[in-house]
Amino acid sequence: MAVEPLRVDNLFCERDERVLFEGLGFSVSAGDVVRIEGQNGSGKTTLLRMLTGLSNHYEGDIYWGEQLLAECAEEYRQNLLYFGHQAGVKALLTPLENLHWYASMQPHIHVEKLEWALEQVGLRGFEDVPCHTLSAGQNRRVSLARLYLSTAPVWILDEPFTAIDKQGVATLELLIADHAAKGGMVILTTHHELAMAGTLRKVNLDQLACRGRAV
Amino acid sequence: MTNSGAGEMFFWGVLKRDLLLSFRRKSDLVNPLIFFLMVASLFPLGVSPEPTFLAEVAPGVIWVAALLATLLSLDGLFRSDFEDGTLEQTLLSPQPLFLVVLAKVFAHWMMTGLALTLLSPLLAVMLFLPVEGMWGLMASLLLGTPTLSLIGAIGAALTVGLRKGGVLISLLVLPLYIPVLIFGTGAAQAAITGLPIAGFLALLGAILVLGLVLAPFAIAAALRISASS
Amino acid sequence: MADKKWMPRWFYQLASPRWCYDITGKLLPLFAWAAALLLLGGTAWALAFAPADYQQGNSFRIIYIHVPSAILAQSCYMLMAIAGAVGLIWKMKVADMVAKCCAPIGASIAVLALATGAIWGKPTWGAWWVWDARLTSMLILLFLYFGVMALNSAIENQTTAAQSTAVLSLVGLVNIPIIKYSVEWWNTLHQPATFTLTERPAMPFEMWMPLLIMVLGFYCFFAVTVMLRLRNEIVTRERRSGWVKDLIQTQFR
């Protein structure tokens, strides 16, 4: 799973007349787990959305390998898994249907693995219940099951641990560390203290609001 | 890279999901149809129940009602996907976005346009539309309503990020509906008077083809713009 | 931007708000004088010297306002859509601003065209409003303007608003010919052969020359209003940049 590094260069973003970050630069290579830190409203989600290519309201450059992100968007998307602020789970569909829909969009996912993935996130027995009857944490787990399915090397995870119980968090952390060890890269935000503190790199947006370079 | 087989699978996957969602939330399916029926029955009450008058205005009334019913159903086209985050996932999928968009619009049309077309004979009878006009009306609806879904989807995509999109969509989309309305009622009226309707249907078909070619790109661009803020 | 190599230099100068502000400052008096002269001269010629129409007498003279405004309302939409497209493709902020300035101007000119059309309709057809093909097309054009303005004001984020309205106005641009054709067709079906003054054969020189002058005058006037609005928009958006602060210092001290 060799993957091109992601490089952020001199990124500037303002929202509603307020500078969120300025001169932000860092890079993420294969094997890295990078945690974006900052207070509420410091622009963590905004930054992650820029890194996925969803938002392009910034000045400065984001490179994937040698190319600008905007120029290789299609190829980049094949290598990307994004876990967003909203889980991306349809309440009227069952967990299995939700994953089927996701798999239809990601051609590299094997449909036979869907039930196994749901079992991994502890949703065995809930495969055929509509998601609106599940709890908030269970709904997020449906979306997290994608982590077990995906072969994409770049993971961008916005608050993946929200509403997940302690044991779930621990399993998830192992999964993330394992992904990085296999040569993937992970960029995430979270308010949880992570056990893998040693290997974790950090980008702090609070210090950047008043300029500076991170990492 | 995806091959055409995967693209096709993907198209049916999205279509199946949207149809499934509509069937799970039946009000989405039924409400525009009831609205269609209600609007059309306002005219006899509001203007005159006289059969000759109604027969004369029937094609126009049915077409306007179909137009408004389509508008009513548009706001939900992308909104629920936007709110629960599935739209983001769609935008980040490596599959071509115009295929998703086509599949979604196709599903929308099956739920509204096709259903309205099938329901239209009932309204035609209520409004004393002469029997000769029936086929013209249904054929024009069949060819015209997909265009309504396509154009409407542009409006829905542009307003999906706004809290109140409903009224705004109507403002954006209604002027663009006018050619379809004109040729649609034209076809029905021509059929009533026994004139050939092939020309109208050809025009409606041409507009539909133009819409099929251009609208998905506009919708896709609009979705990316709306999701970027 | 990868396209930088093949685009001419002025194109990139145009992208700079400051350069745009300077150049419009120089062009503004030029166009203002041209507009004043053309409009005054044209009006005088049209009202005093052009011969009266043999069917409608003097009431036809309103076409010297109606026709230029109708033409301008359409060109303005085109400019808005093209500027929007440039902004969308090359991410040029000035183009976004031009597109934004065009909408209210175009809408007011369309209203002018409709109002003069209605006034002209009273002596000609005996009613304030007639569903004539041209008037109906103009009405729909006004609706399109309303849509663009409503969308622009509904979206708070400036960039998103500019991009969204650009897409909408391009969709409108594709639709305008279809709308025109369909309305004309509809008109011939429902209102056989009312005469339209503007399409009559062989208008004599003394009649069309002032019309041409008025059209040119309207275009110059339009250029003036767009530039005024654009300069206003540039200064508002760039108010925190150094050159605008300097400008305010030197001009309003």
Q: What per-residue confidence (pLDDT) applies to C237? A: 87
Q: Which of C248, C245, C188, C244 is nearest to C20 (CA)?
A: C244
The answer to whether B207 and B147 have CB atoms below 8 angstroms apart is yes
Mutate to test the interface with C, among A14, A20, A57 (most CBs of C within 10 A): A57
- When the pLDDT of each residue in chain A is averaged and rounded to a whole number, the result is 87
Q: What is the pLDDT along chain B (229 residues), one digit of tens a residue?
A: 344 566 777 888 889 999 999 999 888 889 999 999 999 999 999 988 999 999 999 999 999 999 999 999 998 899 999 999 999 999 999 888 999 999 999 999 999 999 999 999 999 999 999 998 999 999 999 999 999 999 999 999 999 989 877 789 999 999 999 999 999 999 999 999 888 899 999 999 999 999 999 999 999 999 999 998 7
Quick check: A211 pLDDT over 50? no
CB contact under 8 A, B17 and A97: yes
CB contact under 8 A, C155 and B182: no
Quick check: A1 pLDDT over 90? no
Going by their DSSP bridges, the two strands A33-37 and A185-189 should be labelled as: parallel
Q: Is A11 helix (H, G, I), strand (E, B) or coil?
A: strand
Residue of A nearest to C239 (CA): A17
Mutate to test the interface with A, among B21, B25, B89 (most CBs of A within 10 A): B89
Q: Report the alpha-carbon distance of residue B175 to residue C171 in Å, rounded.
A: 11
Longest dimension (CA), chain B: 63
Which of B25, B84, B95 lies closest to A105 in CB terms? B95
Which of C147, C157, C179 lies closest to B171 in CB terms? C147
Mean pLDDT of A77-84: 92
Q: What per-residue confidence (pLDDT) applies to A59? A: 86
Cα distance from C13 to chain B (closest Cα, Å)? 26
Q: What per-residue confidence (pLDDT) applies to C29? A: 95
Among A193-207, B100-114, C99-113, name the one with the lowest average pLDDT. Answer: A193-207
Q: Does A57 touch chain C (CB under 8 A)?
A: yes
Residue of B nearest to C154 (CA): B162
Question: E strands of C166-225, at which residues?
Answer: none
Chain C partners of B190 at a C-beta cutoff of 8 Å?
none
Q: Report the alpha-carbon distance of residue C14 to residue C83 in Å, rounded.
A: 12
Sign of CA dihedral B80, B83, B86, B92: positive
Scanning chain A, the segments in alpha helix (DSSP H) are 44-52, 73-78, 95-105, 114-120, 136-149, 166-181
Which residue type, as a one-letter code, is found at position A206? D
Q: Report the alpha-carbon distance of residue C116 to residue A13 in Å, rounded.
A: 48
Cα distance from B29 to chain A (closest Cα, Å)? 15
Chain A partners of B94 at a C-beta cutoff of 8 Å?
74, 77-78, 105-107
Q: Does A57 touch chain B (CB under 8 A)?
A: yes
Chain C partners of A71 at a C-beta cutoff of 8 Å?
2
Q: What per-residue confidence (pLDDT) applies to C61? A: 87
DSSP tag of C52: P
Which residue type, as a one-letter code, is found at position B201? L
Chain C partners of A72 at a C-beta cutoff of 8 Å?
none
CB contact under 8 A, C151 and B172: yes
Quick check: C30 pLDDT over 70? yes
DSSP tag of A43: S
Q: Does A107 touch chain B (CB under 8 A)?
A: yes
Backbone angles phi, psi at A159, to 5 degrees: 50, 60
Cα distance from B74 to chain C (closest Cα, Å)? 16
When pLDDT is cut at 50, 70 and 90, the band that residue C253 belongs to is: low
Cα distance from A160 to chain B (closest Cα, Å)? 14
Sheet architecture: strand order including A200-204: A80-83, A154-158, A185-189, A33-37, A200-204
Q: What per-residue confidence (pLDDT) applies to B153? A: 97
Residues of chain C with pLDDT > 90, as a percent, come to: 55
pLDDT digits (tens, 9 = 90+) for A52-68: 999 988 888 999 988 99
Q: Report the alpha-carbon distance of residue A112 to residue A94 in Å, rounded.
A: 17
Q: Which of C252, C215, C238 is nearest to C45 (CA)?
A: C215
The answer to whether A188 and A201 have CB atoms below 8 angstroms apart is no
Higher local confidence (pLDDT), C200 or C81: C81
The answer to whether A43 and A50 have CB atoms below 8 angstroms apart is no
Residue of C nearest to B171 (CA): C147
Q: What per-residue confidence (pLDDT) applies to B57? A: 92
pLDDT digits (tens, 9 = 90+) for A97-144: 999 999 888 888 888 889 999 998 988 889 889 999 999 999 999 999
Going by their DSSP bridges, the two strands A18-28 and A6-15 should be labelled as: antiparallel
Q: Does B2 touch chain A (CB under 8 A)?
A: yes
Cβ neighbors of B60 (< 8 A, separation 6 or more) are B185
Which of B171, B225, B229 lies closest to C150 in CB terms? B171
When pLDDT is cut at 50, 70 and 90, the band that residue C2 belongs to is: very low
Give the global pTM. Answer: 0.90
CB contact under 8 A, A57 and C2: no
